[in-house]
Each structure stands twice: as structure tokens, then as C-alpha cells.
Structure 1
Amino acid sequence: MSAGSSGYRGSGSGDDVTASEEPPRFLDVLRELKADGCNLLVVGDAPRRLFTEASAGLLGGTDEQRYRLLAVTDASAQSVVERLPDPDETPGEFGETTEIVNHASPPRSVVESDDPPETPPLGDLSERRVVDPQLAGLQAELAESMATFNRHAGGLRPAQLRVGVDSLGALFEHYDAGVVRRCLQVVTGYVTDYDAMGHYVLTEPYDSERVQRIADDFDAVVEIRAVDSGRDGHHAEERWRVASRDLVTDWFPL
């Protein structure tokens, strides 16, 4: 995913950008979003594995020390392992820079599994389980974790904290839409306060009713799709929509 190192190759020419307009260069917009803190809605009619891949990119690589906070509602243990970097290659203590908030229903571990994945184990990674009738507990756990990371870092740098929620679909299935949106308003507010990058997975097409209802609550919407690797030379693509900049990019490799 290009929030770390974009593969964008142009200025974008989406359907709502006319030839007479000069939209901001995508990389410039991305730098602004990272500097100010941003919240991204990740959507698309795509296989679940591509959302894991997109999430891994947005959580950042091992080129510098980052703090990662991942809230899971219906993600598998395998997908959690796949989106996090190898603990042995991560700057800083992995257990002090990475945390999982588990809001799965029914409750289940995503760190300890009866059928361990073939990928590297998560070691001493912290998993905080939340059973929450109105999502206040999830809000509180995420806010507390962000504050703890900020103290540990002595003040977080822009985009040093990466936050992910996978997925919103499970929350909408179990809670009233208004409750979910209020929770997101609180969480996205904290993300912005810490100049962090947050992403929120919703495995539905961009033009679905639910995506359209909440898209304006985010700084950008990232669409993903699968493509023919034999024809296109890559297996998946992404497209960014940044309404505040009147920017819609072309599709480019995920």
C-alpha cells in the first residue's frame, strides 16, 4: 500500500476530475495527510487477502521505529501475523511497540491459535480482549493504547503511530449504525490528535450504500481490487479518493 512508498505514477484522472483542472500531486497530498494525521477508509469488492495486504502496507515497514495498534473484530490469527513485520527485524522491542485489541465476537484469541500459522509467531505480543455492549470499551482501549505509545515515545512523530481496525463490517452487524459512527468519531479524533495514520477496513464496494454513508467521515477512501497478474504484471490495484483535495487517482499497483 502506497502510504509508505507510493507507486503512484501520475496526477490522477478520475471521473470527477476534468482535464482543465490541475489536482494536487498525489504524493504531495499524501505527505500532507501523514504530517497532519489522517484516517483512511479501505474498501473494495476484493478477496479478503488483499485487505490484509493493504493493511500491512498501511501499518508500515521496518525502515524506522513505528508503533502499531491493530483492533480486530473478525480478522483471523493468520491475517494478523501476515500484516505485522517480523519481530526480529522491527526497530525497538516488538512487545512495546505493537499491540492487538481483540473485539472478536464470539471471543477468541488472534495471538494464540490451536493451529499455528506457518509464518513467524507473534512472540510476546500483547492482546487485550474487549467484551463491550456499546463500544465504549473499544474506544477506551484504543485511546489508552495510543496514550501509552505517546508516553513511551516521549511524544510521537507524525505518522509514527499506525492504527488499524479490521473490520467495520463486523461492528455494523452487531451494533446500531449510529453507535458505530460515534465510536469511529472518537477513535479517528484520537488518531488525528496524535498525528497518526489510521485505516479502517470495510469489505464492500465503493458504491455500496454503507460505504457512501460513511465515506465523508474519513480523510480519504482507498479502493482495492484484484486484477489479472498475467495481463497487468501485478495481482492487485488501489485507487485513492481525497474529497477535500478534489483528487481521485488512477488505479496503480497495490
Structure 2
Amino acid sequence: MTSEQHTIHEIFQPKHCQHFSSTEGTTDTLGIRLSEAMGTVLDTDPRTLDPLYNVINPEALNELFTLNSSHQSSTEIIFSWYDHAIRIQQPGKIHITNEPLVPELDADLPLATEFVGAPFGSTDAISYEYAPTDDLGTEVVLAVANASGIDTQEVTERLADRINTDALNELFQPLADGTPRTDGYVSFGFEGYFVTVSGDGVITIRSELAQLKEQGGNILVVGDVPSDVFNAERAYLMNDPDSIRHDLVALLDRTPTAFQRQATPVRPGPSNIEIFDYQTAVRSTAAPTSSPQEKVQITPISGTLTDLQNTLIQSVAMQDDLIRDNRSTDIQVYVDSLQPVIEATSIDIGSFLTPICRAIRGVEGLGYYTLPHDRGSLAVHEIESTFDAVIELRVSERGPKQRWILPQTGYTTEWFAIIERR
């Protein structure tokens, strides 16, 4: 991999990057603060630097972040100046690296550090070209409307609350003499999508769910609903006969027999299943067993919740080589109930979850954790921010339904039915 092919995630690592945050109460514009930061990086007087205007419109840069939006945290601008890659994030966070070029835009979008009968759609990004003379706000509206199916008028109204479209339009406009500004990107979350606008005339859209599927993450499943609704949701999430998977199941509230009996049957696929049976004093112990036909291995964990935590982390870590050798293998972890962890006095729920979630993200796997509480409950409120997405379940007159809460793009889907995939 050459320096021009690094991903944004690799470039903006601590060993490559210097970070600058705005001073509380400062009245300096973002352009001034950026010039001062670059002066520090280059060890020179910022007044001697070539104008920032030559690479990006500093007035538009400042205005892009002036909106009072609760979802500005996913907005960022990336561009090159003095052979350094610069990333600006709300609220006023500046990151500068010594990498010479901004990476080219491809399927792995340079974004912040994630239905059609399936919880995740295609992981492919959708790209649209625009001309320097086009109204960029209008082009973004058309692109999002086309991808999401939302009426353009609705998209226009919502986008105006999300980002300053006039500033977006001016940010990479050519200089007065016609010199183009092409070395930059703006990305932001909108209506469940990450929208990336490049200075060289491309708008790229990718759903937050698709990014979550590809990059891995952890999802909390909640609802004050019967257990059979959670069973149906598990089948919906984990039943994918087209993928090769290694599933790790942690049982804290059910025995393996009860779990397999109560769960909605999943279609057989080329997958392996490991079940870790956390056994409390009132539950009987059993020797590890396996079922060659179903490729299921059951291992009892008779110690503490910390023992279960360590076992899960070690098992997830062991899949790292498997993923490296076979990119088509998906790692999924399913925790049947977090209720015993909440009730435990031996370990804090956050201390239990954080290392497990980190391990799953490390192998680009997906973790699902169920909690039989209403989303508005204190128990859910205390842990919701740990997860990359939340699925809320409810029972309606037409059967069980779900909706997805996607925090990075500040988007909540409509309620839709839990339907077994075919």
C-alpha cells in the first residue's frame, strides 16, 4: 500500500496525527484557527502561509458548521494543504497529518470513525457526478431522494436543518481565475445515509446500516415484548443462508435446550455455532457437547460473569486469523439477555460490555445484545450510548414490528414487520 492508498482511518492514527481543539469562548473563525494550527505543525508564523483560500473557501468553511444541529457530530471536512491531510470535525476539532495527499474516494468512504427482507442492504456505495456550475445543494437533494425514495421537497426541508447548503455549494467552487479546488471532501450523516461530496465532482451515498455491516459493530435489541418476539428477531438478524458465518452465542438467561427449542428455526447454512452456557447455581452443569449435523458446540461457563466476558473476548479474538484468511466469513455474537448482568453486583454493566464490544469491532464482526426493557427505561438509557445502533421491538395488531435507531446519522426508521428471510 502506497502513501496515496491509505484509508482515512489509517492516516488519522495518533502516531501520524496532531489534534487541535477550539478554546472555550474563542471568537476566532475556523479559518484563523486552522491557519494557526498549520503554523504550529510546520513550525512557522501562520501569517507567512499561502492563503487558505487557494484550496478551500474559508468563509464557507466557517459557515458550514454554524447550524445548531444535534447531529453535527458526524459532519467532517477533509482536504489537502501544504502536503498535509486535514480533517475538521464539529465542534471545532482539527486533525492534521503529515500524509501528502487525501486518499481517492472509493467503496471504503473517507468517513468518520455504521431493507428488502434483510436488516442490511447492499454494502455498495452509490455515486453521482456533478459539474462545478451545478447547485450542489440541489444535487445532494436529488441524490438522497433517489437513494432513499423520499420526496425531494421533504429532503430539501430536512437538509436545510442539517447542513448549510449555501456554504456547501461555495466550499470547493473554483477560484475567480478558474483554478479548480479539487482536493477535498465533505461528509455528513443524513436520513440514515452518509453523504460524501468530493471537490472533484462526485457525490457518494452509503447507508449507515451498510457501513455497519462492512465495518462491524454492536447492536442493542430492546422492547417490553414476549420472548418469542426476541426469538423472531434473532432469526431475522442471524438467518442468512448465503453467508459463511461463525456464530458465538452467550446464554445468560436460558439453557441451550430451551434456547434451541424456543428459537425460531433458522435455515441451515455453511456456519459454525459455539454456545457458551453461563450457568448459575440454580442451573445444572453439563459437559461440552457438539452436534456434527448442525456444527454446534456447547461449552458451560460455571464461573463469574468476568469469566464469561473473558471467554467471549478470547473466542472473538481467535476468529481474527479466520477473517484474514477468508474475507467471506462473517463473525456474529449473540447475547440472549443482559438482564442478569444488570442485576449482578459483581460487575458493572459498562465494564462488562465495553471490552466485548471493542473485540467485536476489532474483527469487523456484529454483536447483538437483547434486553427485555422498554427503550424509555432507565436500564436502556444507561447503556444505549455503548452501541452503534439500537433495534426497538413492539407488538402491534398486525404482529411484531421493529424500528432501527441509527445514532451517527441521527435517523430512526419507520416501524416495519419482523419477517423471516427467504
Q: Which TM class, normalised by the smaller chain length?
A: 0.7 to 0.9
Answer whether contact 1:58 1:162 (CA < 8 A) is retained: no
Residue 253, structure 1, aligned to residue 417, structure 2: yes
The worse-fitting range, judged by mean Cα deviation, of 67-76 and 141-150 is 141-150
User: 1:197-226 CA distances to partner (integer Å, 9 max, x unpaired)?
Assistant: 101000000000110111011001100111
Residue 128, structure 1, aligned to residue 324, structure 2: no
3-state secondary structure, aligned to 2:260: helix
Following TM superposition, by how much is the alpha carbon of 1:193 offset from its aligned partner in structure 2, in angstroms? 0.1
Following TM superposition, by how much is the alpha carbon of 1:57 offset from its aligned partner in structure 2, in angstroms? 2.2
* Aligned twin of 2:311: 141
CA distance 1:208–1:66, shift in 2 (3 Å): same
* Aligned twin of 1:85: 266
Q: What amino acid maps onto 2:223 in structure 1?
A: G
Q: What amino acid maps onto 2:331 in structure 1?
A: L
Residue 217, structure 1, aligned to residue 358, structure 2: no
Following TM superposition, by how much is the alpha carbon of 1:35 offset from its aligned partner in structure 2, in angstroms? 1.2
Q: What amino acid maps onto 1:186 in structure 2?
A: P
Answer whether contact 2:322 2:329 (CA < 8 A) is retained: no
Following TM superposition, by how much is the alpha carbon of 1:163 offset from its aligned partner in structure 2, in angstroms? 0.5
CA distance 1:243–1:11, shift in 2 (3 Å): farther
User: 1:114-134 CA distances to partner (integer Å, 9 max, x unpaired)?
Assistant: xxxxxx99756211111233x
Following TM superposition, by how much is the alpha carbon of 1:19 offset from its aligned partner in structure 2, in angstroms? 5.3
User: 1:155-182 CA distances to partner (integer Å, 9 max, x unpaired)?
Assistant: 4638811101110012212235x62211
The worse-fitting range, judged by mean Cα deviation, of 204-213 and 73-82 is 73-82
* Aligned twin of 2:31: none
The alignment yields a C-alpha RMSD, in angstroms, of 3.4
Scaled by the length of structure 2, the TM-score of the pair is: 0.48
User: Which runs of structure 2 are paired with 1:107-122 in the superposition (5 Å)?
Assistant: 107-108=283-284
CA distance 1:165–1:19, shift in 2 (3 Å): farther
Aligned partners of 2:350 and 2:240: how far apart in 1? Answer: 30
Aligned partners of 1:53 and 1:109: how far apart in 2? Answer: 28
User: 1:44-94 CA distances to partner (integer Å, 9 max, x unpaired)?
Assistant: 1211111111122222321121110010101353333535635xx321xx5
Residue 32, structure 1, aligned to residue 32, structure 2: no
CA distance 1:202–1:161, shift in 2 (3 Å): same
Equivalent in 375, 395, 406 of residue 206 of structure 1: 375
* Aligned twin of 1:56: 235
Aligned partners of 2:245 and 2:372: how far apart in 1? Answer: 26
Which structure has more RCO (C-alpha within 8 Å, separation ≥ 6)? Answer: 1
Aligned partners of 2:395 and 2:299: how far apart in 1? Answer: 33
Residue 104, structure 1, aligned to residue 251, structure 2: no
- What's the % identity of the aligned pairs? 25
Aligned partners of 1:175 and 1:158: how far apart in 2? Answer: 40
Answer whether contact 1:36 1:158 (CA < 8 A) is retained: no
Following TM superposition, by how much is the alpha carbon of 1:192 offset from its aligned partner in structure 2, in angstroms? 0.2
Greater Rg by CA: 2
Aligned partners of 2:207 and 2:364: how far apart in 1? Answer: 17
Equivalent in 397, 403, 408 of residue 244 of structure 1: 408
CA distance 1:244–1:25, shift in 2 (3 Å): closer
CA distance 1:209–1:188, shift in 2 (3 Å): same
Gaps of 5+ in 2: 1-116, 123-146, 160-189, 195-205
Gaps of 5+ in 1: 113-119, 230-234
Scaled by the length of structure 1, the TM-score of the pair is: 0.77
Residue 20, structure 1, aligned to residue 169, structure 2: no
Answer whether contact 1:71 1:166 (CA < 8 A) is retained: yes
Answer whether contact 1:59 1:84 (CA < 8 A) is retained: no
CA distance 1:85–1:150, shift in 2 (3 Å): farther
Q: What amino acid maps onto 2:361 in structure 1?
A: T
CA distance 1:196–1:131, shift in 2 (3 Å): same
Answer whether contact 1:43 1:201 (CA < 8 A) is retained: yes
Residue 194, structure 1, aligned to residue 370, structure 2: no
Aligned partners of 2:354 and 2:374: how far apart in 1? Answer: 22
Residue 3, structure 1, aligned to residue 119, structure 2: yes
